[in-house]
Structure 1
């Protein structure tokens, strides 16, 4: 339990880092500083914090600060502006934008007005946007700029439910003459006018909010079928906030960096709701491409990212180390060795022997603390990773350089958090124990099931799918397969629907094999094939950055991604990686052949989800020729 400065404040409440929660997690009503909904907590924070900095964002290369008062005013104007345009309680508003402070203003404004906020990935196509708007029956759509507006203009006739489209960024759109389109400044003006006419209207709407109201729709990217809108209520999010405060304390002085899509539950928790609970400061990365530069400038106290990001940082350090002077390379290797010796203890919550600690202290002073400063990790109390498996060796490397990196597990349907390793109790290779307020069990077929007030309300207008997702006694079926050790640590082994039954009748969980393959720095993703076939094969996506570096170092000629995939030395290197993984598995679980997917995929391709995971069904269909060739 990560409860710094915890003290009893009353019979039913406990204070964690200056915020009051129920003394026992999982109790109804879920209260954060006495508030039972997100808008009520938002109002409480803004009224108390006023001129303190809530957000920072770069403008023309300079970081600018924005206060909690500005957060309140803009959210209020958006909420009241939408009400003046006809928004009714319980109606959906869609947001199609990269991360920026207006995203949060809109989220809080919509919820404050009694609406339901629904994020759309900026990588979604116009056709996908049409599906999401129609499925959610959105009345209003917020778009970031001309690029995202173009998607709406392409499908305007297909989305009749939309009454207004609000644009954040005016650049390139000064001559826009579109009846349904207005700029965010116009909406602010409408909100100000409504506020002047009906003083206290926004506060009155906030007071009407109830814990059971739906706060947001989060469309699951879904590796099969069309996306489904998961309904999360205020209670679900506050329960997640409560669990997070106990297991992953965020402190008031913390600086955080927002860069993953805000329509994903992980970033929404990390950059909107947990900071709202803790009253900490959120900094917006300029773009996904500038994350590493912005990290150096912000030096966040906590940082959550998917494994792909942690791998990129590691690769960047290795490249820099190789380019160093001979003495620099030697010092770096010695420092890492000293760090790894210490990590063997601290990763597992043990105290290292004095000699190990002393050697590390020297190399930390000489090399590692400068490395952390260069990476923007010198103030990092805790790094977090989730959404996909991460290599145990990579976890150890981060602990070695003095960055505690822990792994957790959650999904949209349980508000993003169900188990987590903590600094005090960490077991690499597992995703930790259930967070306070969440119960976990393994069903007879191996499925992981969870129970807690964070379990979602169901799928939007899809009672059939909702019924399938819960057991008769109310537990959430996660669809993941796993096992729990005697200490309560969870290990995830795969997805139920992905289980392969070979022609010989052997049941195989491909996720375990795929995860092992992805631990290679040269492999970014893999799909194991073999259902109703005699043996297993695999389609592999190489890691472009690392494989290009591999080819350049060995002077292997290539002109584009396809020719890189075709290079004999590259294919051999991947074969060596596959063979190394095969040694870990039984004969029937070994990969007998593989092919490389030789096109660069983006989230706009059918084969990838918005969170950059390969969709098994699409991959098998699209690359049928490659698969048939292996058999």
Structure 2
């Protein structure tokens, strides 16, 4: 371990050295104070060990830590040869793959700042992000993403070059600013011959206070803002992950959420560099369930919508089983739920309950987990949006440990988290080691810690609005902390509904209860300044289509499916069942189905599939007005 002059007292956890006091920086992890220094040390240490796996023509191929370092070095030096200077921004527009990560670490290693762009962003959004971040280079995955650049080419004058990962469909293509990844590798290789130590020298120059990445907010409250996250922020997050999200160097992960998002960046890039785990890249978000079965990861992180989809699939499959199969499933879930009640209350599980669960686990649940690709899962985590406590209990019943956490872009990832050994269903856990959390008089959650971002790129006024006096991060979320230190999120401050009768209602809990149904993928509760609550509902296309086909309900497309009276009655039943758990003033009195399939390309959804409430209410105003006469 390197001993630096400014290294604070260290402690050893699971073979890794970290700051003994995580409330103070600079933050060191195994002797490194920046991500790129840690990256270099890991690649030297692990060499031929597998760092990444990726499918090519249906076959999983392995790539070592040496491959990681060599490719990152060629990309970094290639960009330097083309004119990249320290502190300049490089944007990446690609689905998750190893080239994304190579470009990420290669750019950071030579002092560049990496900004990820969602592949679902339009050309207009790409133009905004390139110009707002002052990007000098743009790396794109393929011809589809290149087309976006070509359509705005004359409106992004600051770009020096565009580099394309995949040549397919572009043979014979020529543009004075566009080159291909193998061209960049060649340029980097030539530069390396003339400057054999340059890459290592640039890594050595890195400082904790330097901005490492820009992560743009989802833009639910205005134009996206680039959050500046430093090497120090990242190192603090890696150190905290050792204590909260530990991963063994023998364990496998699956990456499928966009790497632009801070949660996936933390899980797929930062933590594996720190803790030496192996990352498997899913072929696409659409194939993630197949890839899960192929890999059977030990740890897996997903947004609530994915965990909801897994539950929906099982619920529908159970409904299609034989009478004996349906009976066995109900008995197995009942045994799991009974056991879960004791676990949730931190009580010893009675021998009879444990024996019943063990039997049904052997007969039903173990096979179910294997079918889902969750048979080796030691820990599942969920974040980025609220999840139903009932869904967490269902996963516990089938033998899957699913832990909810809370964080935001501006906290470089995690603020609070439930742990395997210290969890409380319905909360988002306790504050991470080294962090501080408090509730403001108006109910807003405030957070302070070494992972709080540096501010917004070129927006000091927005930074001042977000970081309060004393370095407290204003989260914009409302919550409460119980006497054990567990945080419960009650809603977003801007989402509070004040009815015409003056009743304050936070819609998140109602919406989560509705989404627990396998027939509802999302819901937005309406009622601000109105006499009663209503809801706009998005049905789950796959499950509702199956419902309709089984009952011979005629439909020709998604719109006609939503218009079917049987489907409306189905959702009415879900709403009525949900209402039973809420006070009269909190009950849904009417609803309408959104009869258009939404994707991340639509303005109503963010790239991480969160509904933009204001857009939904504006676009579907006619439906809302119908409910209120």
- TM-score bucket of the superposed structures, by smaller chain: over 0.9
- The 5-angstrom pairing of residues 346-385 of structure 1 reads 346-385=343-382
Aligned structure 1 segments of 4 or more residues deviating by more than 4 angstroms: none
Partner residue in 1 for 2:622: 625
Alignment of 1:428-577 (within 5 A): 428-577=425-574
1:323 is displaced (CA, Å) by 3.7
Say which of 234, 238, 247 aligns to 1:250: 247
126, 130, 144: which is aligned to 1:129?
126
Contact 1:95-1:141 at 8 Å conserved across structures: yes
Alignment partner of 2:48: what SS?
coil
- Which deviates more from structure 2 when the two are superposed, residues 22-31 or residues 559-568? 22-31
Q: Does residue 1:231 correspond to 2:228, yes or no?
A: yes
1:391 positional shift: 1.8
Give, in whole Å, the separation in 2 of the partners of 1:61 and 1:349. 45
1:615 maps to 612
The offset of 1:332, in angstroms, is 2.8
SS of match in other structure, 1:418 = strand
1:265 deviates by 0.7
- Which residue number corresponds to residue 156 of structure 1? 153
Preserved contact between residue 8 and residue 26 of structure 2 (Cα < 8 Å):
no
1:348 is displaced (CA, Å) by: 4.4
2:99 corresponds to 1:102 = yes
- Summarize the alignment of residues 327-338 of structure 1 with structure 2, pairs less than 5 Å apart: 327-338=324-335
1:368 to partner: Cα distance = 1.9
Aligned counterpart in structure 2 of residue 87 of structure 1, from 77, 84, 88: 84
- Residue in 2 aligned with 1:600? 597
For 1:417, what is the secondary structure of its paired residue? strand
Q: Contact conserved, 1:122 with 1:148, CA < 8 A, in 2? A: yes
Question: Could you give the per-residue CA deviations for residues 211-257 of structure 1, whole angstroms, max 9, x where no partner exists?
Answer: 01111011111212111111111111111111111011111111000
State the match for 2:287 in structure 1: 290
Matched residue pairs, number? 622
Per-residue CA deviation, residues 434-475 of structure 1 (Å, 9 max, x unaligned), is 111111101001001111001111111111110000112220
Cα distance in 1 between the residues matched to 2:31 and 2:455: 26
Q: Map Cα deviations across residues 501-551 of structure 1 (whole Å, 9 max, x no partner).
A: 333333322223323322332222222222233332222211212222222
3-state DSSP of counterpart to 2:414 = coil
* In structure 1, C-alpha distance between the alignment counterparts of 2:348 and 2:96, rounded to whole Å: 40
Most deviating of 504-513 and 149-158? 504-513
Answering whether residue 190 of structure 2 is matched by residue 197 of structure 1, we say no
Secondary structure in structure 2 of the residue aligned to 1:474: coil
Cα distance in structure 2, aligned partners of 1:217 and 1:414 = 13
1:278 to 275, 278, 303: 275
Aligned match for 2:29, one of 27, 32, 51: 32
Moved more, 535-544 or 202-211: 535-544
Matching residue of 1:111: 108
Structure 1 position 138 matched with structure 2 position 131: no
Report the CA distance between 1:66 and its aligned residue.
0.5
Runs (5+) with no aligned partner, structure 2: 1-6
Worse overlay, 323-332 or 482-491: 323-332
Q: Specify the alignment match of 1:74 in structure 2.
A: 71
Residue 211 (1) aligns with residue 208 (2): yes
**2:411 alignment partner in structure 1:** 414
Residue 57 of structure 1 and its aligned partner are, at CA, apart by: 0.6
Post-superposition offset of 1:331 = 2.8
Residues 231 and 456, structure 1, Cα contact 8 Å, conserved in 2: yes
Contact kept, 8 Å, 2:316 with 2:543, in 1: the verdict is: no
Query: 1:171 and 2:168 equivalent?
Result: yes
> Mean alpha-carbon deviation: is it higher for 541-550 or for 25-34?
541-550
Question: 1:134 & 1:468 partners in 2: Cα distance?
Answer: 23
Quote the offset at 1:11 in angstroms.
Answer: 9.3
Unaligned runs of 5+ in 1: 1-9
Contact 1:347 1:399 survives alignment (8 Å): no
Of 20-29 and 579-588, more deviation after overlay is shown by 579-588
Secondary structure at the residue paired with 2:61?
strand
Root-mean-square deviation (Å): 1.5
2:14 is aligned to: 17
Q: Distance in 1 between matches of 2:594 and 2:524?
A: 10
**Could you say which residue in structure 2 is the equivalent of 1:188?**
185
TM-score by length of 1: 0.96
Matched, 1:425 2:425: no
Specify the alignment match of 2:311 in structure 1.
314
> Separation in 1 of the partners of 2:516 and 2:504?
23
